[in-house]
Amino acid sequence: MDKAHYIANNEQLVAQLPTYVQQYYLEKSVVPLSPATLYQYLNEFKRFFTWLIDTGVSSAANPAAITLEELEHLSKQDVGLYKAFLLNRGKANKKNPQGTLSVKTVNRSLNALGALFRYLTVESEGPDGEPYFYRNVMKKVSLIPDSETFQARAQNIKAQLLLDNDQQYLEFIAHDYGAQQNNRKKLNLYQRDRERDLAINALLLGSGIRVSELTNTNLTDLNWEQAQVKVQRKGGKFDTVPIAQWVLPYLQPYLEIRTLRYQATSSTPALFLTKGRPNPRRISSSTVELLVAKYSQAFNQIRITPHKLRHTLASKLYLETKNEHLVATQLGQSSTKATGLYTHIIDTQQKQALNQINQPPTSKDQDKK
């Protein structure tokens, strides 16, 4: 979804929730949290409130009627049961279409509730100038430990990265993908959007920006002379991100046809556009995800996401610099906590050293004896 759709959906969701959640939404929209993040949070709030009603923890008739007093007096056991509910929903079937949640998703739900309770107990202000209440039960509930080490995670995603063949991937989009198309409609769409799709993939691979940052970028945010792009990071902060020089030749053909082919005007400021009726529209994150999946599947039979292109850039940048702080800065991360992953993706020294242990002597070694 694009930003406008997220905002529209957020407004529908928040109307179904208590007034204190509506106040939370208004304040965090100004901070701002991104509409996409708020969308995730509001869905988690609704899921939690629905569970409180379904299990009888709350006597409210609907989520909007759950009171502050009920949240204030929730026990650690109540929230522990909710945590267990998220972890043990079972496999998806006709009777249980939701299916199992990953540990990452469960922790995201707990983090969202932690943010709400932090607001209610610390950041909010009632008529008396005090927070709505002070007892924060979420402080007593721990997240689920990650059962995967960086080494294991790195091995799992390494096959989905374009560490040695990113340029071949781009050349495949530019020339070879069309030759594989037997369907006239698909071929026409490819020929129409080839320059745009190539520019999108190159920019993701050569800057490491998130797909939401790319789709929210305007034409005026691109600084051609400095090879930089201005993006809005998570949390609403703006950042100027360097672009690899090799990306520019992939961007130029798209910029040359953007206005004529997509009928762009001053009222369509988005850098990347999609054809619409009657007017062109800002390309959505879901469209970018689909086109990356389409090209990567055709390229090497591995369906990847824009986030894997971000991982590719980060891994190659660490390989070149051995500097986690530089990688974190390029990615717009406030710490190097997450960049440890990239050291494991490209670190082959450990395996090389392991292979040298108790290595059988060569024939030359035998001759020396």
Q: CA 51 → CA 83, 84, 152, distances in Å?
A: 11, 12, 34
Residue 62 maps to a domain: yes
Residue 312 maps to a domain: yes
Residue that terminates a domain, selected from 147, 164, 187:
147
Check: CB of residue 216 under 8 Å from CB of residue 241: no
Q: Are residues 61 and 169 in the same domain?
A: no
Q: Are residues 133 and 61 in the same domain?
A: yes
Q: Where are the alpha helices (DSSP H) in the chain?
A: 3-14, 19-30, 35-54, 68-72, 76-87, 103-118, 150-158, 166-171, 177-179, 184-207, 211-215, 248-262, 285-300, 306-321, 324-331, 340-346, 349-356, 363-368
Q: Which residue, 229, 234, 217, 215, is CA-closest to 285? A: 215
Q: Are residues 105 and 194 in the same domain?
A: no
Check: CB of residue 345 under 8 Å from CB of residue 154: yes
Domain containing 118 equals 3-147
Can you give the pLDDT at residue 92? 45
Check: CB of residue 226 under 8 Å from CB of residue 245: no
Q: Please tell me whether the overall predicted TM-score, pTM, comes out greater than 0.85 for this model.
A: no
Can you give the pLDDT at residue 226? 95
Residue that terminates a domain, selected from 124, 147, 170:
147
Q: Are residues 122 and 163 in the same domain?
A: no
Residue 361 maps to a domain: no
Q: Are residues 17 and 140 in the same domain?
A: yes
Residue 366 maps to a domain: no
Identity of the amino acid at 127? P
Looking at the structure of the chain, the number of domains it has is 2
Residue that terminates a domain, selected from 127, 147, 167:
147
Tokens of 89: 């929903």
> In 3-state terms, what secondary structure has residue 240?
strand
Q: What is the mean pLDDT of each run of 10 residues along the chain (369 residues)?
A: 84 96 93 85 96 95 97 95 83 53 87 96 93 96 72 69 91 94 92 97 96 94 96 87 96 96 92 88 92 94 92 90 91 79 64 60 56
Q: Domain holding 339: CATH number?
A: 1.10.443.10
Q: Are residues 15 and 62 in the same domain?
A: yes
Can you give the pLDDT at residue 91? 44
